[in-house]
Structure 1
Amino acid sequence: MLLKGANGLISKELLGRINELAHKAKTEGLTELEKVERKDLREKYLKEFRAGFRQQVEMLQVYDKQGKEVTPEKVRQIQRDRGLRDD
């Protein structure tokens, strides 16, 4: 299983290894090498998650109850820069 990330996909293996290390940390503790690995994996996961979330927000269009678009100007400009808007 793969989860959407920004510049790629967050693999089931990555999440599985993070969870393995978390479980081992709770039960028997981690070696120094495993602590470094856990830190690196967490950073990689967070980087991919944040980038994917940013991409979702940047693709968002917001409308009020009357149907008028009220997307923030910052997001509109990003969409224009990417060629996603004509206005």
Structure 2
Amino acid sequence: MLDDKKLKRLNQLAKLKREDNISKAELKELTGLREEYLSNFRSSFKNQIKNTKVIDPEGNDVTPDKVKALRNKK
């Protein structure tokens, strides 16, 4: 997870970019922070999907096979 300090910096740099007032070094920093943020987001989302179980109205487990395969893959 991205700590508060990094998240704050990411938002500052994004604002600078929107205002077209960003240096090349800041742009490189922004790219790195975005990659870290997206990597953490994807990992978290994947874990959430792994822990999801889909049940139909009759009470049957209809979780997609892909999700079951992710869950069994360790």
Q: Give the stretch that moved more between structures: 14-23 or 26-35.
A: 26-35
Aligned residues of 2:2 and 2:36 also touching (Cα < 8 A): no
Q: Report the counterpart of residue 39 of structure 2 in structure 1.
A: 47
Q: Identity of paired residues, percent?
A: 32
Distance 1:28 1:74 in 2: 43
In proportion to residue count, which structure has more helix? 2
| Contact 2:10 2:33 (C-alpha < 8 Å) held by counterparts | yes
Instruction: Provide the rounded CA distance (Å) in 1 between the counterparts of 2:72 and 2:15.
Output: 45
Equivalent runs, 1:28-47 vs 2, <5 Å: 29-47=21-39
- Greater shift, 22-31 or 45-54, is seen at 22-31
**How many residues end up aligned between the 2 structures?**
74
Q: Check 1:32–1:81 CA distance in 2 against 1; reply closer, same or farther (3 A cut).
A: closer
Helix, strand or coil at the partner of 1:52? helix
Q: Indicate the structure with greater strand content.
A: 1
Counterpart residue number, 1:3: none
TM-score, reference length from structure 2? 0.86
TM-score between the two structures when normalised by the length of structure 1: 0.74
Q: Does 1:56 align with 2:56?
A: no
Counterparts of 2:72 and 2:39, CA distance in 1: 25
Gaps of 5+ in 2: none
Tell me how far apart the structure 2 counterparts of residues 74 and 26 of structure 1 sit (CA, whole Å): 39
